[in-house]
A and B are shown apart, each in its own frame.
Chain A
Amino acid sequence: MVIGRDSVPSLLRLDGAESVRLTLVVLPGTSAHVSLEVDIDAPGCSLDLAGLYICNSDEDLNLDILVKHNSGGSSSRQNFLGIVGGKAKAVFNGLIYVAQDAQKTKAMQENHTLLLSGSALVQARPQLEIYADDVECSHGCTSGFLSDEELFYMRSRGIPEDEARRLQKLAFIAPVSSRLPEEIAAEVYESIS
């Protein structure tokens, strides 16, 4: 789903043994506040949620993602990747909530950001709120710049600097961009310079 184009539900409820796979995309030039809550209310559900956001000018982006495991025996995985440059501001709030009787829950959340400029701002607040004691939950969060070592290695093989940077960015987003339908993936690739 492309933010600002498709209507994204603010609440998603999984109440049968179902599998949901959802990918959110934020293309450059989009300022938005996206709130999404996914309630997992039945066992045997699996949620596979991914997000990709690319900001390259002065976007103001806020992502609030709440995954609530109200019932046990379900799993959720989230992977949000951002490329943030220019003077853009991107805030990611990710909360995994596991209710007291939601035993045997498996929940995982990743949020990684690639910073392209010193004037871009990234805030990531991954949070776990767990009231059950027999669960497997994890979160990981990083932000960093493109690697100079990789850049020099590629340039030393004749790959021009611009193209080397582009390759690095495409590689960074690949885990999520590879999930996208062809037309949207093409738009994403085009938006990356």
Chain B
Amino acid sequence: MNEILLEIKNLHASVGEKEILKGVDLTLRRGEIHAVMGPNGAGKSTLGAVLAGRPDFRVTAGSVTYDGRDLLAMTPEERSWAGIFLSFQYPVEIPGVSITNFMKAALNARRKAAGLEELKPAEFLSLMKEKMAMVSMKPEFARREVNVGFSGGEKKRNEIFQMAMLEPSLSILDETDSGLDVDALRIVAQGVNALHTPQTASIVITHYQRLLDYIVPDVVHVLKDGRIVRTGGRELVDIIEKDGYAGIDG
């Protein structure tokens, strides 16, 4: 068995007064891809946001250990430096900030945290070019403001492009398939698969089977009402596709 990368124990989290996660347990090893499936409102996106450190989600109980460290004690930027990446369901528009400047700030902050020098401009630009090509993003996107005026598919490709730039150990893909046509879905999935190595792991959050035809999970969890009610293999996806979530309980 590979080394454990992420261990979630009895995780409870609230937004405002409302408890969304009601005791989640999940163990993820390097090299694995886990799917988290579930109906709308089950808490799937909350799980992703809590792992990335979103400040308005309050953890009320439980623990998360990432690569031997107490993840919940880390700021969002520290989590990023440690190799966590969340692909947002709704990528945020940042008017006035170009993708180039955004990625430069992100990459150099990470290098600084690791005690490395900033990338030389030429190195940075060729890296940008290479990673943009990976998700079929046109080079002119480098100059565009982050996500401003992007179509749904362009936003998701931009997420995977950022993932490729940051080369995370743990990527959390939150509904990456939503709003994508088949071609865009294939491009995005190919990008994710190309970045997967025996050292990395992914959590793929999705409502539907569709994305899992392209990104094949090792383990499938079903999240309902803030708890994982079933964990199994690939066959769970087919059961859900056939019978929906209604028939799945602990």
A5 interfacial contact with B, CB 8 Å: no
Contacts A149-B92, A153-B91, A153-B92 given; indicate if A158 touches B106 (C-beta within 8 A): yes
B63 interfacial contact with A, CB 8 Å: no
Give bound CA distance, A148 to B92, whole Å.
10
B182 interfacial contact with A, CB 8 Å: no
A177 to chain B, nearest CB (A): 10
Q: Which of A150, A154, A161 contacts B75 (CB 8 A)?
A: A161
B96 interfacial contact with A, CB 8 Å: yes
Nearest CB to that of B52 among chain A residues? Answer: A156
Nearest CB to that of A155 among chain B residues? Answer: B76
B202 to chain A, nearest CB (A): 16
Q: Are B96 and A152 in contact (CB under 8 A)?
A: no
Contact count band on A: 20 to 34
Q: Are B105 and A159 in contact (CB under 8 A)?
A: yes
User: Residues on B close to A: CB < 8 A?
Assistant: 52-56, 75-77, 79-81, 85-86, 88, 91-97, 101-103, 105-107, 109-110, 113, 162, 166
Specify the main secondary structure of chain A where it touches its partner: helix
What are 20 of the A-B contact pairs (CB < 8 Å)?
A148-B55, A150-B94, A152-B76, A152-B92, A153-B88, A154-B94, A155-B75, A155-B76, A156-B77, A156-B80, A156-B85, A158-B80, A158-B106, A158-B107, A159-B109, A161-B75, A161-B77, A167-B102, A171-B95, A171-B96
Q: Are A174 and B96 in contact (CB under 8 A)?
A: yes
Q: Are B162 and A157 in contact (CB under 8 A)?
A: yes
Give bound CA distance, A153 to B55, whole Å.
11
Residues of B within 8 A of A160 (CB): 77, 109
